[in-house]
């Protein structure tokens, strides 16, 4: 992006008094962070004089809670998943956003506009597989569970979120009914019973970079994975494929931890990163869907077709239920951890 257009996105007010301050921005690392670096961090730093110190985490809200409670906040902007954002907002871990410092709410898709965070991209957790290792292509989570027809290790995220949804989808629950079933004790038991069937064949992953690495190396033949990470591996020549059917999609948001000493610069950065042009450039580097409604029109049609927000990819997909995970997440994660440790 040219410096002049970057300056226009920032606005002149964003440049006053911010020179040479460091801003710590924490995201989920890997290919995602590389795209953020190119589309957001470097252009913003060039225009504003604010150096971005980029860090990564795996969504551990306990780290943010400890900073806020001890009044020792060293992170200024954090990429947060929807349930953690909602829970953290309730607990006072994130600043309530002043949208006059960011942009017009009407410019963004509905799920992106939050009290304590603004959505930065739409992502999907998909079924991914190594096409060199499987003779036939899987088409569903039922196939993922079928180790006779599709022999080999499976990868799953080490946590309850989405793992339980996929178990119910594999057991024949329709996408529209998944959260209704999972909100009942019988539904939870059903999901864990289904996981019991697959447990001997599961290799757990925790960081988003792991599934494409483990698939490419042949350590496993199928895995749940973030669509953007698989796309990055495909761009490197790896013969990995995505099954969009039964995927779960959600929004990641930018949030400001309560008590950040650089709140002005944090707003300046979020305002910049929430505009259509930078978002379109980010989505061209890693196929996560932009939240600014003007961004897709700036993109190549072929690139837009690989986004989670493409109509064909949304068919048979399941929107993550943030309210469900806020209400039940803590108990389900505890039960999952106890189950996984057995």
End-to-end CA distance of the chain: 52
Number of domains in the chain: 2
201 and 337 within one domain: yes
325 and 210 within one domain: yes
61 and 43 within one domain: yes
268 and 244 within one domain: no
**Residue 268 CB-half CA count within 13 A:** 31
CATH code, domain carrying 190 = 3.40.190.10
Give the residue numbers spanning the domain of 36.
3-122+251-304
Whole-model pTM: value is: 0.79
For the stretch 103-150, pLDDT in tens is 999 999 888 999 999 999 999 999 999 999 998 999 999 999 999 999
Local structure of residue 37 (DSSP, 8 states): I
Q: What is the mean pLDDT of residues 331-336?
A: 96
Calculate what percentage of the chain has a pLDDT beyond 70.
Answer: 94
For the stretch 158-171, pLDDT in tens is 999 999 999 999 99
For the stretch 21-55, pLDDT in tens is 799 999 999 889 999 999 999 999 999 999 999 99
Report residue 311's pLDDT band, with 50, 70 and 90 as the boundaries.
confident
18 and 69 within one domain: yes
62 and 143 within one domain: no
Euclidean distance between CA atoms 307 and 224, whole angstroms: 17
284 and 203 within one domain: no
39 and 59 within one domain: yes
154 and 188 within one domain: yes
216 and 327 within one domain: yes
Q: Where are the beta strands (DSSP E) in 96-201?
A: 117-130, 154-157
Euclidean distance between CA atoms 318 and 305, whole angstroms: 18
For the stretch 241-256, pLDDT in tens is 999 999 999 999 999 9
Q: What is the mean pLDDT of residues 181-189?
A: 98
Cβ-in-10-Å burial (0-12, 13-18, 19+) of 294 comes to: middle
């Amino acid at each position: 992006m040219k410096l002049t257009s970057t300056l226009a996105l920032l606005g002149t007010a964003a440049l006053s008094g911010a020179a040479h301050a460091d801003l710590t921005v924490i995201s989920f690392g890997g290919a995602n962070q590389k795209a953020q670096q190119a589309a957001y961090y470097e252009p913003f730093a060039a225009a504003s004089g604010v150096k971005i110190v980029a860090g990564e985490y795996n969504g551990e809200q306990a780290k943010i809670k400890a900073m806020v409670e001890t009044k020792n906040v060293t992170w200024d902007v954090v990429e947060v998943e929807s349930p953690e954002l909602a829970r953290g907002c309730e607990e006072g871990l994130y600043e309530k956003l002043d949208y006059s410092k960011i942009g017009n709410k009407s410019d963004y898709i509905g799920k992106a506009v939050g009290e304590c965070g603004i959505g930065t991209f739409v992502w999907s957790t998909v079924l991914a597989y190594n096409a060199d290792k499987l003779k036939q292509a899987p088409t569903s989570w039922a196939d993922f569970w079928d180790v006779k027809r599709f022999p080999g290790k499976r990868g799953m995220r080490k946590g309850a979120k989405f793992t339980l949804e996929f178990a119910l989808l594999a057991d024949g629950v329709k996408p529209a009914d998944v959260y209704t079933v999972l909100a009942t004790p019988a539904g939870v038991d059903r999901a864990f019973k289904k996981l019991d069937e697959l447990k001997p064949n599961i290799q757990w992953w925790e960081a988003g970079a792991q599934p494409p690495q483990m698939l490419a190396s042949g350590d496993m033949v199928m895995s749940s994975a973030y669509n953007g990470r698989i796309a990055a591996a495909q761009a490197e020549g790896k013969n990995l494929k995505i099954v969009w059917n039964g995927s779960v999609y959600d929004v990641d948001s930018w949030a400001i931890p309560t008590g950040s000493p650089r709140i002005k610069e944090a707003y300046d950065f979020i305002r910049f990163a929430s505009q259509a042009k930078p978002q379109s450039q980010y989505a061209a580097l890693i196929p996560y869907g932009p939240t600014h409604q003007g961004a897709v029109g700036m993109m190549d049609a072929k690139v837009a077709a690989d986004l989670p927000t493409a109509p064909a990819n949304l068919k048979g997909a399941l929107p993550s239920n943030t309210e469900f995970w806020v209400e039940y997440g803590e108990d389900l994660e505890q039960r999952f951890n106890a189950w996984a440790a057995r």
